Amino acid sequence: MKALSIRQPWAWLIANGWKDIENRDWRTAFRGPFLIHAAKTMTLDDYDDCMLFVSSLTPGRTYREFPKMQDLLLGGIVGRATIVDCVTAHRSEWFCGRFGFVIQDVETLPFFACRGFPSFFDAPWLPPPSALSVVKG
């Protein structure tokens, strides 16, 4: 299965169904299910910039709904989703890049620590089937 490494807190936003577009500077022909990998690094500036962006886009959603920086998981699989398109324009409030990967069918998964790579990468070391069960609750 393919995986895509995404910096936190953006990975959390996608895995939890808030963000339906992943913005990139490159186009992809990939379509289908993929694992959401939370990159191993996140700075305070990354977190604060994301919080400002989220608060400007999502009226009614507050910082209280968003995890604290220290609670975000880094360096592993946090969810799975499906990429259904790659676009250069989109009506989603989350679209702001050169290219946007349109994401659907998002599920949060139990954290599975593993190494990430740039771009899409094969995940031959897939988590055990029990770890790929959807988190309930």
Mean pLDDT of 84-99: 94
pLDDT of 15-67, one tens digit each? 999 999 999 999 999 999 999 999 999 999 999 999 888 888 766 665 567 89
Burial class (CB in 10 A: 0-12, 13-18, 19+), 87: middle
> What percent of the chain is modeled with pLDDT above 70?
85
H-helix or E-strand spanning residue 76: strand 76-87
List of domains in the chain: 2-131 (2.30.130.30)
pLDDT of 5-26, one tens digit each? 999 999 999 999 999 999 999 9
| pTM, two decimal places | 0.86
For 54, phi then psi, to 5°, come to: -60, -45
